[in-house]
Structure 1
Amino acid sequence: MTGTNRSWHRRLAVGAWVFTGLCVLGVLGVVLWSMYAFTHLAEERKNCCWAENVTPEWMARTMGFQVPETATDRRAGLNSNMQYDVALLTFTVTTAEADRFLLPLQREGTQLVRNTHPEEPGYTRSDGFSHLGLPEPETFVDGMRIGGLCHGDTKTPEGQAVRFCTKIYAHEFRPGTTRIYLWASSDAPIGKPPGSH
């Protein structure tokens, strides 16, 4: 093989290595960019669309619930996305107080049921209670009761006052103490509290 042929083969080999390296770098760049975009989009969706200045008092009035005066650790949120608005309200009371709160919100002849199909621990949703710093109620089994109602499902004044279809979770997380979770959705805009953007 002449020197010219060797030189040509060497250049061809170097060119192939350079081309392969550029292809690998290109693929790696696309993968890294996709991972960044996916992570950024997931974080953006998680933090997206939450109204400001949502107080538990405002949310209780908006949803149509009378929170017991003895309730502690009250939290609320309002998420407005492209499809529907979600209202969140949660508070802690004694289990006896929780039962008094829940009874007029149950259809006659029904009762809250146990969570027989829990989500895995760590489960979150973009319009859920994790926004309020709490585990999602769907992950609990022990001490968890689940129900729900829409406006007019009961003839009680409490049931008539409820404005949106609401999922109700009652979690007795320690003996004698229950956290109530209220999750409501509306196809129509719920509206925002004063001072919210």
Structure 2
Amino acid sequence: MSRPEVPAGAGAGERERSGRRKLAVGAWVFSGLCILGVLGGVVMVVHGLREPAERTKPCCWEEGVTPEWMAKRMGFQVPETATDRRAGLHTNLQYDVALLAFTVTTAEADRFLGPLQPEGTQLVRNTHPKDPGYTRADGFSHLGLPEPETFVEGMRIGGLCRGDTKTPEGQAVAFCTEIYAHEFQPGTTRIYLWAGSDAPIPKPPA
């Protein structure tokens, strides 16, 4: 049986069409990979933006936190004459925050603060106050108090970590603590103690 005749140039045309099909398929594959890559990048960016927000979002104010328990946990000897004692413990995924506030006479405040000041230092004025009404997720507004960073008049600011002073009071401090002393009326001072801890702070007994 004789083979059908193939028109001249048919082989070349078929090869040309086959080459075009391969180029088209390759282009589609390349485009698909590019689209997948872009989508993957978008997903990673969105996840990266969302994850830090989740790590830093406000979480929990623990129940059963008393000023007496918190003073012992933070390592402070609150003067027996102190009034309006308040305390709180805030926990989240990054760090825990211990809060303690109380009111004493200004003379008693000075006696309390003296052993907590590293040698050669003194409390300073608040030269960069926050706007009135400023609040923070782990701040004293939870205790019904204005944030100490908003005060200028009568405000003194300091801080220390354990071992910054050689006094027994300084050696007893459990966490690095920001100290605010606000003489909100002549002869009367409110002490604010704010301490952050990367390690979880044990919760009060139920």
Give the equivalent residue in structure 2 for 1:169: 180
1:186 lines up with 2:203 in the alignment: no
Question: Could you tell me which of 57, 60, 78 is aligned with 1:67?
Answer: 78
Provide the secondary structure at the position in 2 that maps to 1:59.
helix
Provide the secondary structure at the position in 2 that maps to 1:148.
strand
Off by >2 Å, runs of 4+ in structure 1: none
Give the equivalent residue in structure 2 for 1:28: none
Q: CA deviation at 1:147?
A: 0.1
Question: Could you tell me which of 100, 105, 122 is aligned with 1:111?
Answer: 122
Q: CA deviation at 1:173?
A: 0.0
Deviation by residue 1:89-140 (Cα, 9 ceiling, x = unmatched): 0000000000000000000111000000000000000000000000000000
Q: CA deviation at 1:149?
A: 0.1
Question: Could you tell me which of 49, 66, 78 is aligned with 1:55?
Answer: 66
Listed as ranges, the gaps of 5+ residues in structure 2 are 1-56
Q: CA deviation at 1:75?
A: 0.1
Give the equivalent residue in structure 2 for 1:4: none
What is the identity percentage for the equivalent residue pairs of Structure 1 and Structure 2?
85
- Separation of aligned partners in 2, 1:87 and 1:80: 9
Question: Could you tell me which of 100, 104, 115 is aligned with 1:89?
Answer: 100
TM-score normalized with structure 1 length: 0.75
1:143 lines up with 2:147 in the alignment: no
Q: CA deviation at 1:141?
A: 0.1
- Separation of aligned partners in 2, 1:148 and 1:110: 10
Give the equivalent residue in structure 2 for 1:101: 112
Provide the secondary structure at the position in 2 that maps to 1:188.
coil
Q: CA deviation at 1:187?
A: 0.3
- Separation of aligned partners in 2, 1:82 and 1:124: 20
- Separation of aligned partners in 2, 1:132 and 1:145: 20
Deviation by residue 1:38-72 (Cα, 9 ceiling, x = unmatched): xxxxxxx66x3000000000000000000000000
Give the equivalent residue in structure 1 for 2:18: none
Q: CA deviation at 1:172?
A: 0.1
Match of 1:184, as an amino acid? A
- Separation of aligned partners in 1, 2:193 and 2:183: 15
- Separation of aligned partners in 2, 1:79 and 1:66: 21
Q: Of the two structures, which has the highest relative contact order with CA contacts closer than 8 Å and spacing of 6 or more?
A: 1
Provide the secondary structure at the position in 2 that maps to 1:171.
strand
Q: CA RMSD in A?
A: 1.1
Q: CA deviation at 1:189?
A: 0.4
